[in-house]
Amino acid sequence: MKIGVLALQGDFAEHVAVFSRLGAEAHEVRLPEELDGLDGLVIPGGESTTFTRLMVDYGLLEPLRRLADDGLPTWGTCAGMIVIARQASDMPRPGLGFMDIVVDRNAFGRQVDSFEADLEIPALGPEPFPAVFIRAPVIRQVGPEVEVLARLPNDRAGGGAGSIVAARQGHLLATAFHPELTDDPRLHRYFLDMTEARGSASKVRAATVLAEGSNGSTRNSRP
């Protein structure tokens, strides 16, 4: 499995390290041509407003939209989740917008900048997942095709109790927290399973989709 981790900013190196430990080939991606041949893509945590600015500067916005549109498994964590959301609060410019979720940035305010919570994630098995939240967003709304994977525990004090913090929409995965900062690799394994399920056909498709884009055609003109 060849996984690309968007490396414009943020904690991409930690994601690369976890995937490598799991035996996947993980690459840092900065340029559109580095998207070629990927089985999956991760957009890491960092600062979403910086991501969206750099994606424009590096010419990545359209290629990334085309690939996700074409079914490339894509996982956004924290700032990455904000970037792939259909709508996010307080964003100066649009992100990629391909996942049908509405997200609140910095949902825990200044008082609770970061915290840890043990999350029930049934898709990963019975053992709770140790989740690290850093100036985290939450998901306020999900579309009909989105499966909720985890919510904050209801007994959590303060804002956010019961909020959605992990979700999946087919080939798209979103987590509000930082699985790459803990020793638990189950979410990275889960994403690898998503990419494996999609199969090697996606590589060939990805190359075609990128080539179509560079020839000037748009996704609307494709059959």
Q: Which of residues 120-159 bind ligand GLN (CB under 6 A)?
A: 134-135
Q: Which of 14, 78, 171, 188 is flagged as catalytic?
A: 78
102 touching ligand GLN, by CB under 6 A: no
Long-range contacts of 85-92 (CB under 8 A, 24+ apart): 85/139, 85/174, 86/143, 88/48, 88/137, 91/48, 91/49, 91/52, 92/49, 92/52
Q: Which of 14, 15, 171, 178 is flagged as catalytic?
A: 178
The count of residues interacting with ligand GLN (CB under 6 A) is 11
15 touching ligand GLN, by CB under 6 A: no
When binding is defined by CB under 6 A, the residue of 64, 82, 121, 150 that contacts ligand GLN is: 82
Binding range to ligand GLN, per CB under 6 A, among 23-31, 46-54, 123-131, 185-193: 46-54
- Output 27 or 53, the one with its CB closest to ligand GLN: 53
196 is catalytic: no
Q: Which of 14, 15, 171, 180 is flagged as catalytic?
A: 180
Task: Give the pairing of strands 172-175 and 85-88.
Answer: unpaired
Q: How far is the CB of 196 from ligand GLN (least distance, A)?
A: 27
- Output 132 or 207, the one with its CB closest to ligand GLN: 132
Q: How far is the CB of 11 from ligand GLN (least distance, A)?
A: 8
28 is catalytic: no
Binding range to ligand GLN, per CB under 6 A, among 77-85, 115-123, 164-172, 192-200: 77-85
105 touching ligand GLN, by CB under 6 A: yes
Q: What is the DSSP track for the chain?
A: -EEEEE-SSSSHHHHHHHHHHTT-EEEEE-SGGGGTT-SEEEE-SS-HHHHHHHHHHTT-HHHHHHHHHTT--EEEETHHHHHHEEEETT-SS-----EEEEEETTTTTTTT-EEEEEE--GGG-SSPEEEEEES--EEEEE-TTPEEEEE--TT-SSTTTT-EEEEEETTEEEESS-GGGSS--HHHHHHHHHHHHH-THHHHHHHHHHHHHHTT--GGG--
- Output 14 or 36, the one with its CB closest to ligand GLN: 14
Active site positions, annotated: 78, 178, 180
Residues near ligand GLN, by CB under 6 A: 45-48, 78-79, 82, 105-106, 134-135
